[in-house]
Structure 1
Amino acid sequence: MTSPALFQNVICDQPVNVQEILSYLDDLPHLIYLKNNQSPVISFLPCQFECVKNGVRQTYQRTQLDQYIPIESSLSFKQFENNQSNSDGFQGGFMGFISYDFASAQHVKVHSKDQPSFWLGLFQTYLKFQDDVWYFYSDEPEAEQIFTFIQNKLESTSNVTPLQLTQSCQARWNKQQYQHAFTQVQEYIKAGDCYQINLTQEFKGQAEGRLLSVAQEFWQLTDAPYSGYLKTEDFELLSCSPELFIEFLAEKKLVTKPIKGTMPRYADAERDAQSKHQLQHSSKDQAENVMIVDLLRNDLSVYAETGTVKTPKLFEIESFNQVHHMVSEVTATLKPNVKALDVLLAALPGGSITGAPKIRAMQIIEELEGAPRGAYCGSLGYFNFDGTGSWNILIRSIQKYQQDISLWAGGGVTIASDCDAEYQECFDKVSAMLDLLNTWQKPQS
């Protein structure tokens, strides 16, 4: 039985930004956008999807254009890795997110946020931005009907409810509370439990309306290569992530680019160059970075062909709008019978946002941070049917479930770390996003 031919057509030839398009499609029950390192894609109307919330896993099947019913079976991966892709980016397959809570629960006992912790959909219909226009793609039997349906939506009126914070987004810890957790981490390091812990803190508030209504401003602020957006019912996830977790390439090759080491950007060119130089020559940050590189090399070696795990780049400095980051690169070639999805699930959560050794680090994080991370430090991305794909690390990301809204930040703590510097690093990473978010504070009556 042959698959339907791929239907392709220009659906929007105007210079419309991503938020506008997402806003027109907002009444669809599920919506995902990935910037995907300059290969933008928007997916909607999954044929099937699987969601985990509060430990309960449920699969749904599309029955009508945008109607779904629960089914007994799990999400079907029978098409997975059957065909070889011919072009870059998403071409139909699986797209979604895996939270830190879900990923860490594979290894240790953790609490989980009261919101979706895993969502993965099977998409055969999507939009891609190519040659300065948005193209519609679908290989579903109803492709032309769906094209007309989506085209009508893009010509209608957007009714996204504006975001308003009823309680400003503030740090859950004060300086003294952070210092207590920091000291506990260093005591564990002295005792030999670990070498490094990625200690993070939550900035939380309350909000009405939709994160989507302000998404474009955050994407313009950060200009992050692995930004994105996911909506499923009353849960929204807005990513401004600069960090690639794993990119799965053709011929079973993969690359991961851990970030460990951060310094702030400055408007003054001389001061900014000094900040970059300081990071570039920081022995403390290099020590942190190489620990995570070693951890990732170890994680990947289980699934990789012997001798293929390499480190072509070490301690490179990449500059983003708010910060300079120290970034390394690890590459590998997977064994023939290894499935990309299995590698992703086994490698999550990433070493750059846990610590080393990873299992003990996750236990210490669960003990000390005092609140579940939710989607933060999880991963958002996609797989094509041939197993190629790209998944980020969900840092610099805002999550909203019902009225709860939160943003997290942190950094790697080693025996050489300074508490004041680590505390400041949290704010260096998210202060611009936090200040922007709090501009939508609801006026007091």
Structure 2
Amino acid sequence: MTKSYSIPIPSSEDWSFKLLSWLDLKFPNFAYFQNSGNNYPYGGFSHLIFAGSSTIGLKEIESYQGKRDTVGIVSFDYKNQIENLKSDNQVLIDLPDSEFLIPDLQIEIQDGLLIFDDADRMISSEEIFGASSSIPQNPLVQVQALTSYEKYLSDIEAIKEHIRSGDIYEMNYCMAFTFQDRQWDPIVGFLDLMRVSPMPFSVFYKSGDKYLICASPERFLKKTGKKLIAQPIKGTIKRGVDVHEDALLRNILLNSEKERAENLMIVDLIRNDLSKISETGSVQVEELFGVYPFAKVHQMISTVTAICNKGAKFKDIIHAAFPMGSMTGAPKIKCLELIEQYENFKRGWFSGSIGVIRTDGDFDFNVVIRSIVFDKDSGNGFFAVGSAITFDADAVYEYEECLLKASAILSILTSQN
């Protein structure tokens, strides 16, 4: 095995396209993690690449002892392996409930270099970047909403009736959008999305013919040493057209009783989840109602930390906290049953999680939102958006909030940007 080495990244604007195209050609599975550099508490993803041909499920990850870090993706529907639940809604793209990539290649991108970690062979700059190419433009596609406006309004009122009846306090309700075009290139789609909506937990993931184009602003769970960090997002408002409007909108979000109530309910749920696998009395809310700017929106983010129980394994931690409260609601199990009742699609990777597990047991996983799932073989793609429905939710406002969250994806699919 070759020692670690590095090659310089060329100054040309198309270097990332060439790099992703080379990975796509050479490997059946790979993951490209990117952090836009947002001022995010505890930082975002490291700029890393993993590629290989072997995968295992979450149940096998405990027995894996490797020299390299691993990449894992956990579908929302993995919930059925944790609780007595089901997912019988329409399957838009068939995806594994969990998949962990055992990499043959690991690369860190830093200071203008590709740093190869114990590669099997020397890979030259010419091999990756030497081909003459230009970044193509994706075709515009027709996007189809699976839920009509009228159905959405009706579902919100039905969900509010469950709240009035005391079944739940808050529920995350999502709607999906689909498109179909075999000429659509997921690599170009990812680069387009990074340009219009850079995020701290962005990932481009390939599993055979299936691709995840993820521009997530949200961390699910991070472990560093014995410390666990969860950072739920609940609360969204658009960015202003100038500095003054931007500050005004930020303050509106910060002082919104409705958004604070949504955020607080999920913080309480996550505190309860973390307490299952943490030292007694160690669960703390480090920041409540923090408001952070992103390209198109301000988001309300809270930070909850805990000290993990000695001996708690990755699977134990995931089973205690998954699915993340920000994508379910409270109480979690009843909300999951109602999500199955009212939504009309199987979420799959959407609102699941993808991240990296280090060889020392540390890990960092996001929430898969603001993301496209694409099947290159069939040309089918989908994305979904949602919001938290509470007792005083206004259905029209919630619908508009969903379209705001979808605006970056819609722009790269339906307009020349």
2:252 pairs with one of 256, 270, 278: 278
Segments of 5+ residues of structure 1 without an aligned counterpart are 58-73, 81-90
AA in 1 matched with 2:21: S
CA distance in 1, matches of 2:320, 2:88: 19
Other-structure match for 1:70: none
1:180 pairs with one of 129, 140, 154: 154
Distance apart, 1:283 and its partner CA: 0.7
1:188–1:194: 8 Å Cα contact kept in structure 2?
Answer: yes
Other-structure match for 1:88: none
2:19–2:128: 8 Å Cα contact kept in structure 1?
Answer: no
Distance apart, 1:77 and its partner CA: 2.7
1:198–1:355: 8 Å Cα contact kept in structure 2?
Answer: yes
Q: Is 1:236–2:211 an aligned residue pair?
A: yes
Deviations 1:168-193 (A, max 9, x none): 11322222110011011001111111
1:79 pairs with one of 19, 44, 65: 65
Q: Is 1:368–2:345 an aligned residue pair?
A: no
2:312 pairs with one of 332, 338, 343: 338
TM-score by length of 2: 0.89
1:226–1:392: 8 Å Cα contact kept in structure 2?
Answer: yes
Distance apart, 1:311 and its partner CA: 0.3
AA in 1 matched with 2:95: P
1:127–1:134: 8 Å Cα contact kept in structure 2?
Answer: yes
Q: Is 1:33–2:32 an aligned residue pair?
A: yes
1:24 pairs with one of 8, 12, 22: 22
CA distance in 2, matches of 1:99, 1:151: 37
Change (3 A) 1:312 1:164: same
CA distance in 1, matches of 2:346, 2:135: 29
CA distance in 2, matches of 1:156, 1:103: 44
How large is the Cα RMSD of the aligned pairs? 2.4
Other-structure match for 1:419: 395
Distance apart, 1:102 and its partner CA: 2.3
TM-score by length of 1: 0.84
Change (3 A) 1:149 1:254: same
Other-structure match for 1:431: 407
Distance apart, 1:160 and its partner CA: 9.2
Change (3 A) 1:77 1:353: same
1:261 pairs with one of 225, 235, 256: 235
Distance apart, 1:329 and its partner CA: 0.3
Deviations 1:277-313 (A, max 9, x none): 1100011111110100010010010100111110010
CA distance in 1, matches of 2:366, 2:165: 33
**SS at structure 1 position matched to 2:392:** coil
1:49 pairs with one of 42, 49, 55: 55
1:163–1:207: 8 Å Cα contact kept in structure 2?
Answer: no
Deviations 1:232-283 (A, max 9, x none): 1110100000001111102x11111100011111223222222111100011
CA distance in 2, matches of 1:222, 1:432: 6
AA in 1 matched with 2:55: F
CA distance in 1, matches of 2:289, 2:10: 41
Structure ranking higher in strand proportion:
1
CA distance in 1, matches of 2:332, 2:388: 13
AA in 2 matched with 1:399: V
CA distance in 2, matches of 1:262, 1:300: 25
User: How many pairs align?
Assistant: 399
Change (3 A) 1:242 1:255: same
CA distance in 1, matches of 2:127, 2:61: 30
1:128–1:136: 8 Å Cα contact kept in structure 2?
Answer: yes
1:109 pairs with one of 62, 86, 91: 86
2:72–2:357: 8 Å Cα contact kept in structure 1?
Answer: no
AA in 2 matched with 1:230: Y
**SS at structure 2 position matched to 1:25:** helix
Q: Is 1:92–2:88 an aligned residue pair?
A: no
**SS at structure 1 position matched to 2:86:** coil
AA in 2 matched with 1:422: E
CA distance in 1, matches of 2:393, 2:263: 13
Q: Is 1:11–2:10 an aligned residue pair?
A: no
CA distance in 1, matches of 2:286, 2:61: 37
1:244–1:392: 8 Å Cα contact kept in structure 2?
Answer: yes
Q: Matched residues, percent identical?
A: 31
AA in 2 matched with 1:21: L
Other-structure match for 1:60: none
Distance apart, 1:96 and its partner CA: 2.6
Other-structure match for 1:68: none
1:229–1:238: 8 Å Cα contact kept in structure 2?
Answer: yes
1:224–1:320: 8 Å Cα contact kept in structure 2?
Answer: yes
**SS at structure 2 position matched to 1:420:** helix
Distance apart, 1:123 and its partner CA: 2.2
CA distance in 2, matches of 1:76, 1:275: 46
